[in-house]
Structure 1
Amino acid sequence: MNNKIDKEIKDRIQQWLGAEYDNDTVAKVQNLVDSNEETELIDAFYKELAFGTGGLRGVMGVGSNRINKYTIGKATQGLANYLKSQFPDQEVKVAVGYDCRNNSQQLGHLVADVFSANGLHVYLFKELRPTPMLSFAVRHFGCQGGVMLTASHNPKEYNGYKAYWNDGGQLVAPHDKNVIDEVNAIRSVTAIKFERDHTKITLVDEDFDTRYIEETKKLSIHPEAVSAQKDLKIIFSPIHGTGIIVPKMLSAWGFTNVQVVEEQMTPDGNFPTVVYPNPEEEEAMTMAKQKGQKLDADVVMATDPDADRVGLAVKNRKGEIQLLNGNQIGSLLIYYVLSSKKAKGELRDSDFIVKTIVTSNLMTDIGSSFGVKHYDTLTGFKFIGEVMTKLEEKENYLVGGEESYGFLVGDLVRDKDAVNACAFIAEMAAYFKTQGKTVFEVLLELYENYGFYQEKLISLTKKGKAGAEEIKQMMADLRANPPQSLGGIKVKEIRDYSTSVAHVLADGTKTSIDLPKSDVLQFITDDGDVISARPSGTEPKIKFYCSVKEDLASRDAYEQVLAKLEDKVKRIMADIVKD
């Protein structure tokens, strides 16, 4: 074995060549060794998979840092051990779901096997379903936990494992770290119980869809607008994923003119028509957008493989189908919900909205204008779910979202829900249309009333062990030598979430940040621009976010102000993004 591979990695490789692993796994590892695949061996064995903002996520293959039957089995055994320790005097129940990805169904059944072998009662989805339905199932069946097999919007070579607690939200502190401790305590795969106990497994069939759809429909704010605009032209694509349930949801709400992108309706883990199955990427929505343009659609929507993110395109002032970003979609949903509830006299003092720290402050401005309090969380919808659970029965969650295309209206689940969001986007468009407005025109109204916010995200991909070390060094360099100005504008404040300290540079004032510690840096300029840097918790990327703002005197000045803001963002990003 190559001498460049350190002892810790060699020890892990030797362990995976042991008799406790199946012949196929051993043969694949041995082939990597015999072929001297140094980079692959290092990347596959240099660490154990760990929970990030979205649980376990990684490339499928053999190795301790890969998604396979043993890493998934080990995670499930650790979770089973922890659940049994936390709920010792009751039958522990868990829900298990899976999406369209290659191996998701097999891994879902493997998770059910391990749970049942440990005496837990499993509600196993009979077929692939969206992630939010797993969250709904945990709450509906009174489970203590749950697991969803998905890598969300990652490339096709990935898969993943989202673990849920009894509130229907993904694991947060202290449970996430405690589960990892339980997982790490498993020293041999012989400690993993793989033999299924069929008496402990209940299959969840398509009848469950009706319950989920009916409960979601109860959240509708303006059913009369849907009735009036039932023929609203809607184009939808699930991008080969579990969003195939969305047309059924839209039909149940009363929409009769939903047309799908047929080429993308068949679930397929190879995602043959897109480069990345991520509606954040313009390319992924190309086919839906083209069909929308051809048919003069009012709304064009597409969901990611596990249907917890949704992309949206609408007609702009020129009649062209224009993509909106996650900040714009979330702001529109918040405005729709709050303005509608105010008009109905349904806003309460206990109402609140939630967003993440890298999401547009336009959402905050909208909430404040309606007298509705807001909460900021770390990046990851699990933190929004955590706020919802903490404030349950004290305050009333209305709507929340994050710039990465994840939204939730109402508190039916504890995760972002693209199926829910698609229904509300369609209802929102119908309601605005009854008022003689397009969705894009309402967006311009928001800019006129609250300021024209322009955001941009730049992601740098750094794969493998070397990439992880490079990302770590980039963050260290930013902390050691923080920019004093960005885009020619002086930096006023630096917020370091790893130390929970906000530092005002002019007078040296330091205040504490009331959020859990996280590897995030934010720079606030004299103009109020917000620039953030953070390593992704789910992908081998470091992400840079920029949000700038300018007054919009009238919608006729939209193009001019947009060009000005885009130039400003470009200058700022050139100063901070060093690839």
Structure 2
Amino acid sequence: MQSRINELIKISRIEAEKWISYGLKKKEEKEIKDLLSEGNEINLIESFHKKLEFGTGGMRGLIGIGSNRINSYTISLATQGLCNYLNKVIDGNKSAVIAYDSRRFSKEFGNQTAKIFSANNIKSYIFSDLRPTPELSFAVRELNCSCGIVITASHNPKEYNGYKVYWNDGGQITAPHDKNIISEVEKITDFNQINFNFNSKLIEEIDTKIDKKYINKIQSLSVYDNSRSKLKIIFSSLHGTGITQIPNALKAFGFKNISSVKSQESPDPEFSTVNSPNPEDLDALYLGIKKLKKEKADILLATDPDSDRVGVALYDNEKIKILNGNQLASLIVYYSLINLDSNKISKPPYVAKTIVTTRLIDEIARNFGVKSYSTLTGFKYIAELIKNKNAEKFIAGGEESYGYLINDFVRDKDAIISCAYICEIANWAKDNSKSLNDILEEIYDTYGLFKEKLYTIKMEGISGSNRINDIMEKYRSTPPLKIFGDKVKEVIDYNKRVKNPIINVKSNVIQLVSEKNYSITLRPSGTEPKIKFYFSLSGNNSEENKSKLSNLIDKEILSIKNNYE
């Protein structure tokens, strides 16, 4: 073990000294020299033992100096690799659009990205201020750009930032572009290979002309008259980009009674009122729920920093009800299908979800005679599906991690659209003397009760990464014979070829399915140092069964805790 640590120290020292030789700013040079001093070996290793991985969607990592960190140099390196690829595969004029969120250095990283594009004779459009990720996807398509970049780490803690790449269809990069771009990025081993000679004439700021077109397209999705709505809406952007467009989208849908959580309105890179700006975490909703109860409003909407995910809480019968991602995705699909006018679409309709998202969506779609496709985890695969299924019409879809999409003019999960659409469903329910929870119960009565839960274990650093790999290999080589007390009938290893014809790439995901069609799916997180366990059970809709299925999940989680924490 010590010999491996010594080897990593040696590799890291060489890389750190190489960085100093490039002639960095004094502050940056001092930071590296501090890491090189005695007693900082672990931090040195974490910062310099490798290049920050440019994965199949881009980069995400801790902000800081070093080859394994997000900084202006690793951003420049990634952009140069992308430029080299664009110049290889696209003849003639090329262009890119850039957006960024409220995180530390996001604007600086966005401007640096634009400069590198311009230095490589690629026109870049950049928003002059923070904008949501889904609006970037829309802008790529609207401006006919070759690609798009969003500087964001989505819902990660404040210490992170990232770099997401979109292709000309408005979706995140997939095969073959992802691997080919990675190859170009990996070829750059020296800062001298980066063209820093930017051309300001090739950088153009964009704002209202895209904003207006985006909101107008969102408005076209409304199928119910909300102009006389009495729905009381509370909104929180959790210090992120949502504040720029969600109020506009809600007003475009006809809603007027909108109130925001004032202390979370301002973009804040420290996310100072929350531990983590993730709407999946109940703690992040605390201030919003407090306002929801105080004002006796109907619904709380809370979006993550780049506004591609939304969490929802209801104030129903004097009680707070949190709706999870599976429930919201099901409501969106159900509402879309009951309002589907087959006379207005010329192609066969379909809905889409990921393999870890509730099977309730499949059951709803089947009842309406509509196809339901399941992709690998990650909304980029739903976007790829939309691109490939051009003989069919995408209606709606989502993933359990609080990301949803209606229609296809955006090609990523869109919390701006989702907020307006969810409020319309809530308003339709209210006009019929019901809540979203009542609609859900009706869905469960018709299609069956589906109970899902996500459990994650955080495992940081090199040792954490190794532990995650060990857990995955244990399930792969010796999977349990029973889950939830029921015999396992099938083990699906997505690292191998699978039966699902939609899935044509491998992924480090294992799914166990029991004889009662209960399932556990596990995979390493693609964005954080975590391993994720997804639990899914189903049965008749009754209070007794809800309790039974919840207890089965709790027992399984306890077993996993005892084994791996």
Normalised TM-score (structure 2) = 0.95
Residue in 1 aligned with 2:350?
352
Tell me the residue number matched to 1:515: 504
1:486–1:571 CA contact under 8 A, matched in 2: no
Q: Distance in 2 between matches of 1:513 and 1:429?
A: 33
CA distance in 1, matches of 2:128, 2:501: 48
CA deviation vs aligned residue, 1:118-145 (integer Å, no higher than 9, x gap): 1000111111000011111110100000
1:349, 1:214 → 2: CA distance? 24
Shift of 1:356: 0.5
Identity, % of aligned pairs? Answer: 43
In structure 1, the residue matched to 2:147 is 145
Alignment-derived partner of residue 202 in structure 2: 200
- What is the CA–CA distance in structure 2 between the aligned matches of 1:149 and 1:63, rounded to whole Å? 18
Query: 431-440 or 58-67, which moves further after superposition?
Result: 431-440
- Name 1:166's counterpart in structure 2: 168
| Partner of residue 388, structure 1 | 386
Q: Equivalences for 1:305-324 in 2 at 5 Å?
A: 305-316=305-316, 318-324=317-323
Q: Which position in structure 1 is the counterpart of 2:279?
A: 279
Matches within 5 A, 1:105-124: 105-124=107-126
Change (3 A) 1:367 1:491: same
Q: CA deviation at 1:345?
A: 5.8
Distance 1:395 1:329, change over 3 A: same
1:500, 1:513 within 8 Å by CA — same for their partners in 2? no
2:521 aligned partner: 532
Q: Is the 8 A contact 1:377 1:515 kept in 2?
A: no
Give secondary structure in 1 for the equivalent of 2:302: strand
Which residue of structure 2 aligns with residue 449 of structure 1?
446
Q: Which amino acid aligns with 1:137?
A: A
1:561 corresponds to 2:545:
yes
Instruction: For 1:404 and 1:51, locate their aligned partners in 2 and report how far apart those are by CA, in whole Å.
Output: 23
Q: Which residue of 2 aligns with 1:239?
A: 238
Q: CA deviation at 1:391?
A: 1.4
Distance in 2, matches of 1:371 and 1:52, equals 38
**Cα distance between partner residues in 2 of 1:53 and 1:442:** 38
1:312-341 CA distances to partner (integer Å, 9 max, x unpaired)? 11234x431211110000000000100111
Shift of 1:172: 0.8
Residues 1:542 and 2:531 are matched in the alignment: yes
SS at match of 1:278: coil
Equivalent position amino acid for 1:232 in 2: L
Shift of 1:6: 5.0
Letter in 1 for 2:58: G
Q: Distance in 2 between matches of 1:43 and 1:93?
A: 35
Counterpart of 1:3 in 2: which secondary structure? helix
Tell me the SS of whatever aligns to 1:5.
Answer: helix
Within 2, Cα distance between the matches of 1:514 and 1:381?
13
Report Cα offsets for 1:331-358 as digits up to 9, x if no partner: 000001001115x865776111110011
Q: Which amino acid aligns with 2:419?
A: C
| CA RMSD of superposed structures (Å) | 1.8
Q: Please give the secondary structure, in 1, of the residue aligned with 2:148.
A: strand
Instruction: Count the aligned residue pairs.
Output: 559
Counterpart residue type for residue 420 of structure 2: A
Contact 2:109-2:151 within 8 A present in 1 as well: yes
Q: Shift of residue 45 of structure 1? A: 2.0
Q: Which residue of 2 aligns with 1:508?
A: none
Aligned partner of 1:404 among 381, 401, 405: 401
Distance 2:53 2:382 in 1: 21
* Aligned pairs for 1:393-542 within 5 A: 394-501=391-498, 514-542=503-531
- The equivalent residue for 2:36 is 33
The answer to whether the 8 Å contact 1:52/1:538 transfers is no
CA offset at residue 87 of structure 1?
0.8
Cα 1:259–1:514 change in 2 (3 A) is closer
2:369 is matched with which residue?
A: 371
One-letter amino acid of the counterpart of residue 428, structure 1: I
Encode CA deviations 1:210-267: one digit per residue, 9 max, x unaligned. Answer: 1110111112222x2x1232x3111100000000021121112210100110010000
Contact 2:310 2:402 in 1 (8 A): yes
What displacement does 1:380 show?
A: 0.7
User: Is the 8 Å Cα contact of residues 520 and 532 (structure 1) preserved in structure 2?
Assistant: yes
Distance 1:369 1:347, change over 3 A: farther
Compute the displacement of 1:16 (Å): 2.0
CA contact (8 A) 1:487 1:575 kept: no
> Deviation string for 1:198-218 (max 9, x for gaps)?
110110123421111011111
Q: 1: CA distance between counterparts of 2:383 and 2:9?
A: 40
Amino acid at match of 1:524: V
Give the Å deviation of 1:403.
0.3
The one of 59, 63, 66 aligned to 2:66: 63
Q: 2:100 aligns with which of 98, 104, 123?
A: 98
Unaligned runs of 5+ in 2: none
**Equivalence for 1:11:** 14
What letter matches 1:305 in structure 2?
P
Normalised by the size of structure 1, how large is the TM-score? Answer: 0.93
Q: Any gaps of 5 or more consecutive residues in structure 1?
A: 503-510
Write out per-residue CA displacement over residues 368-416 of structure 1, whole angstroms, 9 at most, x where no aligned residue.
1111101111111111111111112x11001010000000101111111
Structure 1 runs (4+) deviating above 6 angstroms are none
Instruction: Compute the displacement of 1:271 (Å).
Output: 0.3
SS of 1:208's equivalent? helix
Q: Is the 8 A contact 2:125 2:206 kept in 1?
A: yes
